[in-house]
Structure 1
Amino acid sequence: MSTSTATQPQTGAVEIPLTRGITVRAKTWGNPDNERILAVHGWLDNANSFDLIAPPLAENHYVVCIDLPGHGESDYYPPYSNYYLWEAVSDLSQVAEGLGWVQRQDNGQLAGKFTLLGHSLGGHISLMYAGTFPEHLKRLLVIESLGPTNFLKDEAEDLENFIRTRQAAEASLAKKALYKSIEEACQARTRGLTKISLDAAKVLCERGLREVPLEDKDKRQQDGGSETAVDGPETSQVAYTWTSDKRLLLRQFFRWSEITVLSFLKRISCPVLLIMGEDSILWKANQESSEWTDRLRAIEQLTKVDLPGGHHLHLEADTSAAVVESLLRYLQSA
């Protein structure tokens, strides 16, 4: 499946094993001898999220775009594990160490300097990483995130529902939506929680879909496994489904308090660039809140830029150039 609109070819791929027994996979751009940028995508996206902005960044930087565990081509978490935010911070620290970008010192601490770039969920993770390991980063670049949202609260009675939902998900990991064509899956992706264009959806689906042979599909349907019936010519040999782990759809039970989030933001010691889309539902819903005002004030070396576009402004052809311009200007000055 070749739908990427990137302006120069991908330069390589890497695999990083984690101690939890899984492998994180990534695509790379540029010369490994150049200054390093580690890019982390958003929820249910994948490394292709940066296909429009990585090539120009890679002219003078080495850019590694990972698939978070459970996304893209990376492995799933083991059974009965949860994709909690702090687990992702731990994974990211192992990725940085696995790439050799931070080194373990005699005292057991990790030391090193690189630039971290995160979008949406990847921005949440990156901000928490910067507050956990402030000595690791030279700069932090964040697109459409100011940390994890706290509009959902944990109540005691929610735990039973969380446990039952997770158990059901564990029992049906193979039961995923099936699509009769790549085009149909791409159309479905445009209707996600944050709407994107068909061209942007095609970029994500290039790495976020896998083929399902008819015999496997037929077996799952016989077992009651298919959540979406595949209607199409009887001569069709394959269907398509998402590579992402169904457990990513679970509403996690444990959430950090606002005081805790602020404590991480206050501990960030590197310069931070925050890019927000002027048409983003995320920003429109929160820009007047006291919580977001407090978060903006908590980051000591913060530069905030508002640009035309929505939540995926870095992935849309008509808005990504402005994102690149802002990133490059900041990289040259900070």
Structure 2
Amino acid sequence: MNQDKSNGHKIEPDLPAGVQVEEIEIPVPWGHVAGRWWGPRDKQPLIAIHGWQDNAGTWDNLIPLLPTSTSVLCLDLPGHGLSSHYPTGMLYYIFWDGIALLRRIVKHFKWSKISLMGHSLGGALSFMYAASFPDDVERIICIDIASPAVRVPENMVKATGWSVDKILEYETLSEDKIPCYDYEEMIDIVVDAYKGSVSRENCKVLMKRGMAPTPAHLKKKGYHFKRDPRLKVSGLAMMSLETALAYATKVKCKVLNIRAIPGQNWERLDYYMAVVDKLKESADVTYIEVEGTHHVQLNSPENIVNIVEDFLEMY
């Protein structure tokens, strides 16, 4: 089996004393999955998964607040951050692809029981993995999400044609058509896109992995977004409430669900709570509301660090 490649422990600027983080690459058939492994490498880590169109940097403010003995592997999902994009012709199914990816990584490291922590999309993948492999998961932490995005079937049906055409359009986007911006202009775009969920300073944290200098051969100055533009299309990844509830019945691990207030502006908050209530029928669920934006782990990590630490210590 191929081994992961790493650059060795390194102390990054502004990290508390004793906090270590290491960049790694995990081989996959289409390239590699990048990650940031915080803390000791001689113990099995908590696997942390970011939200849609974010990257492993979403945990950069939270992890250093945890005890230095905590081992956490923060992944860049395919097409995000420093991970390889899917080959041309492959589609991203967002909430579904990650189940196979996580299984692949677990098998790569030969881990048995795992623990997962996810924000938004990452929380949904933690839920889906725990439902798909209920005997292989000890605990999951889901931040401001309960399950994959739930939509009424009529809305999913309506979006299918547009989604397919949009994916094909992005697939044929030539390199010279990729927009490039100067640094501050790019940060402006990111701040605007997050609509108040992420501060300007924390947008810069995410963009450490989310942007790159424009390739020299394009003869343009500035930066471009590293994420795969095909990721913008998420309409093919949604599910009905009935499907989400059916998956919820299979989860039997310890669950910590942290909902931020005001957090995400959910289309149907009752769907979120219905999944939490269904989880309680088969799993040991701790549901806690905290003050914060949807990106509470990045914007206000101090609001959740004690909750996360207590949950990890308890189990």
Structure-1-length-normalised TM-score:
0.82
What CA distance in whole angstroms lies between the structure 2 residues aligned with 1:158 and 1:213? 34
Q: Do residues 207 (structure 1) and 209 (structure 2) align?
A: yes
Equivalent position amino acid for 1:24 in 2: V
Partner of 1:282, secondary structure, is coil
CA drift of 1:79 comes to 1.1
Q: Give 1:286 shift.
A: 3.7
Q: Deviations over 1:175-196 (max 9, x none)?
A: 3331112x22222211114531
Which residue in the other structure is 2:39 paired with? 30
Which whole-Å CA distance do the structure 2 matches of 1:177 and 1:6 have between them? Answer: 33
Looking at structure 2, the residues matched to 207 and 217 of structure 1 have their Cα atoms a distance apart, in angstroms, of 22
Task: Give the secondary-structure state (helix, strand or coil) at the position aligned to 1:278.
Answer: strand
Q: Any gaps of 5 or more consecutive residues in structure 2? A: 1-11
Give me the TM-score of the superposition, normalised by structure 2. 0.86
1:156-167 equivalent positions in 2, closer than 5 A: 158-167=159-168
Show the counterpart of 1:293.
273
Partner of 2:226: 243
Query: 1:307/1:246 Cα in 2 relative to 1: closer, same or farther (>3 Å)?
Result: same
C-alpha offsets along residues 231-268 of structure 1, whole Å, 9 cap, x if unaligned? xxxxxxx3101110000011433532221111111111
Letter in 1 for 2:203: A
Query: Which residue in 2 is equivalent to 1:264?
Result: 247
Equivalent position SS for 2:235: coil
> Helix, strand or coil for the counterpart of 2:293?
coil
Correspondence list, 1:1-334, <5 A: 6-7=15-16, 10-19=20-29, 21-57=30-66, 59-84=68-93, 85-101=95-111, 112-151=112-151, 153-155=155-157, 158-172=159-173, 174=175, 175-181=177-183, 183-195=184-196, 196-213=198-215, 215-218=217-220, 238-253=221-236, 255-282=238-265, 286-287=268-269, 289=270, 291-299=271-279, 300-316=283-299, 319-334=300-315
Moved more, 258-267 or 206-215: 206-215
Question: What is the number of residues matched between the two proteins?
Answer: 295
Change (3 A) 1:142 1:5: farther
Separation of aligned partners in 1, 2:210 and 2:240:
32
8 Å CA contact 1:6, 1:51 repeated in 2? no
Task: Give the aligned CA root-mean-square deviation in angstroms.
Answer: 2.1
Alpha-carbon distance between aligned partners in 2 of 1:279 and 1:4, rounded to the nearest angstrom:
32
Show the counterpart of 1:222. Answer: none
Superimposed CA distance per residue, residues 168-224 of structure 1 (whole angstroms, 9 cap, x where no aligned partner):
11100633331112x222222111145310111010011111001454144xxxxxx
Gapped regions of structure 1 (runs ≥ 5): 102-111, 219-237
2:214 aligned counterpart, secondary structure:
strand
**Following TM superposition, by how much is the alpha carbon of 1:4 offset from its aligned partner in structure 2, in angstroms?**
7.4
